[in-house]
Amino acid sequence: MPPRPLAQLTLALIKPDLTANRLKANRVLGHIQQNDFTIVERKTLLWSKTDAEAFYGEHRGKFFFERLCGYMTSGHFHALILEKPNAISDWRALIGPTHPPRARIHASDSLRSLYGMTDTRNSFHGSDAVETAKKEIRFFFPEFDFERWEQEQRKGNTLES
């Protein structure tokens, strides 16, 4: 049997506006499963301003930075580690463009098109590259054992071949 395509991990956030709406948040979990992602870890968090400024530090100085930090500290939100082959690009494709009005034109069935409210309150985050995913997973899940996860992937492939 050919080896399975290698699984990849990404960090996803379901931002506070959506987390506050349990019905919509549950629908989003349905989208995640229907699109063959496995939820490896999941936690619900409430950020301080310092936490938000640390995670979004690269945007400091931009016109939307204060608004973004205010939004991300406005309530609880979900952080998830998602697993799937091509998880990083597949999750970014599923959530769609950063700006919901643009998503509604160019990716009308994306999650930001369906659930996003404004350019800032766009309801989702997804890592944009392998190194960023690792860094962001460490940020939210410092206890996550990457080595063990990689070992399990290798073991799974060996058992199947």
Give residues in contact with ligand IDP (CB under 6 A).
59, 64, 68, 98, 119-120, 122, 125, 128
112 labeled part of a ligand binding site: yes
Residue 99: CB minimum distance to ligand IDP, A: 6
Using an 8 Å Cβ cutoff, are 109 and 119 in contact? no
Residue 158: CB minimum distance to ligand IDP, A: 36
In Å, how far are 61, 71, 72, 120 from 67, measured between CA atoms?
Answer: 11, 6, 9, 7
**Residues with Cβ < 8 Å from 47, sequence gap 6 or more?**
55, 72, 73, 77
| Crossing angle between the packed helical segments 130-140 and 87-95, to the nearest 10 degrees | 80
Which candidate, 55, 62, 61, places its Cα nearest to that of 77?
55
> Quick check: is 31 catalytic?
no
Beta bridge partners, 10, equal: 82
15 labeled part of a ligand binding site: yes
Nearer to ligand IDP, 98 or 153 (CB): 98
22 labeled part of a ligand binding site: no
Q: Which of 31, 76, 106, 125 is catalytic?
A: 125
98 labeled part of a ligand binding site: yes
Residue 2: CB minimum distance to ligand IDP, A: 34
Residue 116: CB minimum distance to ligand IDP, A: 9
Nearer to ligand IDP, 50 or 151 (CB): 50
**How far is the C-alpha of 161 from the C-alpha of 142, rounded, in Å?**
33
* Distance spanning both ends of the chain, measured CA to CA: 5
Nearer to ligand IDP, 51 or 119 (CB): 119
67 labeled part of a ligand binding site: no
Catalytic center residues = 125
Would you list which residues are annotated within the binding site? 15, 64, 92, 98, 112, 122
Would you list which residues are annotated within the binding site for ATP? 15, 64, 92, 98, 112, 122
